[in-house]
Structure 1
Amino acid sequence: MTNGRSTTPHQSAQHVVGLYTAEQKRRRDESVWTLVQGILAPVQFLVFIVSAGLVIRTLVNGEGYDLATASVVLKTLILYTIMITGAIWEKVVFGKYLFAQAFFWEDVFSMLVLALHTAYLAALWTGGMSKTALLWLALAAYAAYVINAVQFVLKLRAARLQAAEMAQKESTPNAENSFADSEGLPA
């Protein structure tokens, strides 16, 4: 166990800080896929916000179904893109395309998000649902997307805070010694 996590034999000799070992952090920082994810995530969120507004508008007043549908399809295509590039990123950083220990539960929930978006496309393509049912399915997919996005944001925020705390501890002398030194007492 390292930092409350079980480690693989490959990781056991490496120090884990936050989500990453030092080697994983280096790979993350050097990977072009980190930049790709950093660009795609806010683009997807922006498309989501616009699309959700269009879907809700259509449900409320019945106007703009084609535009709302096009926006859901665009959101889904961006989701597929971010999932594929995210799997590549995970392979580069953690050695697994999906379900790496650091992001296991986020990846599990991502599968639900993908399933709901894919169900929307399948129902749209086959005509298997009414327009109203399709719009509700899109909102269900979007609700799952929001939960998944919050999972990732909280995980990354916690990792940043943990890494900052570790860096602070490494750069600050032992608290007892600092107090003793400030009082002119032997350490």
Structure 2
Amino acid sequence: MVSLMEHGAGHGRYAGRRHSAALRAGDCSGRPAYSLLDALVDRVAPCPWHASAGSRAPLDPVAEDAAPPALYTAEERRRRDQTPWTAVQGFLAPIQFVVFLVSLGLVLHYLSTGSDYDLAAGSVVVKTLVLYAIMVTGSIWEKKVFDRYLFAPAFYWEDVFSMLVLGLHTLYLVALWTGDLSGTPLMLLALAAYATYVVNAGQFLLKLRAARLQESARQRTALTGAV
């Protein structure tokens, strides 16, 4: 029994050293996944380091001083990891993207053929409703993490551009409801709204990728200091 326990303990120490070495080398597979959003960002913007990377070059003090501030404080990170609204955002974001792709295809199909107008127009309505859902739940998430519903410093410009996205999608609904626009002009308005959505989605992905890299760097620094 003692021999088995010693073997298990030795194996645990060996695994711990492998885990620490992987993180010091920049292996992102050693870090814990903290949300569905993180998994989504990892698909779009994977970690730039590899497990086979060599020893890390000495850090440049000037570069360290010029590093951007962390996206989350320790308390904000804790709240982000604990709130269920993080998972809600991670669930809705890919759904909205799939709806966007389907609707974009239908809109382009109408513009190129002149057929299936009702289907294309209805798909943009569905996309707008999903956008409203993610905007409302995103505001709740921001309140839970940053204690404000909109324009938290960490996501200020992303929220500002989101207002343009929301405005153009809403303008589409108004134009469709009132009949002020129809046919090609209405579909062109939908494309303008979709263009802003793509830009805004890119903003959020880049910001979340930066947060993921900061988290990896923080873990490596903590492990390096502990060794």
- Do Structure 1 and Structure 2 share a fold, with TM-score over 0.5? yes
Identity %: 63
> Which is further off, 164-173 or 44-53?
164-173
Deviation (angstroms), 1:173:
4.7
Pair 1:56-2:108 in alignment: yes
Residues 119-176 of structure 1 show CA distances to partners (whole Å, capped at 9, x for unaligned) of 00000000011311110000000000000000000000011011101211221259xx
Matched residue SS, 2:137: helix
Normalised to the residue count of structure 2, the TM-score between the two structures is 0.69
> Which is further off, 146-155 or 159-168?
159-168
CA distance, structure 2, for counterparts of residue 64 and residue 4 of structure 1: 49
Equivalent AA in structure 2 for residue 138 of structure 1:
A
Deviation (angstroms), 1:75:
0.3
Alignment of 1:1-187 (within 5 A): 4-5=68-69, 18-173=70-225
Structure 2: tracts of 5 or more residues without a match = 1-66
Equivalent AA in structure 2 for residue 25 of structure 1:
R
Runs of 4+ in structure 1 off by over 2 angstroms are none
CA distance, structure 2, for counterparts of residue 164 and residue 136 of structure 1: 42
CA distance, structure 1, for counterparts of residue 178 and residue 225 of structure 2: 66
Q: How many equivalent pairs are there?
A: 163
Equivalent AA in structure 2 for residue 148 of structure 1:
N
Residues 80-132 of structure 1 show CA distances to partners (whole Å, capped at 9, x for unaligned) of 00000000000000000000000000000000000000000000000011311
Task: State the structure with bigger RCO (CA 8 A, min sep 6), 1 or 2.
Answer: 2
Matched residue SS, 1:59: helix
Normalised to the residue count of structure 1, the TM-score between the two structures is 0.83
> Which is further off, 160-169 or 66-75?
160-169
Residues 5-31 of structure 1 show CA distances to partners (whole Å, capped at 9, x for unaligned) of 5xxxxxxxxxxxx31111111111111
**2:58 counterpart residue number:** none
Q: CA RMSD in A?
A: 1.9
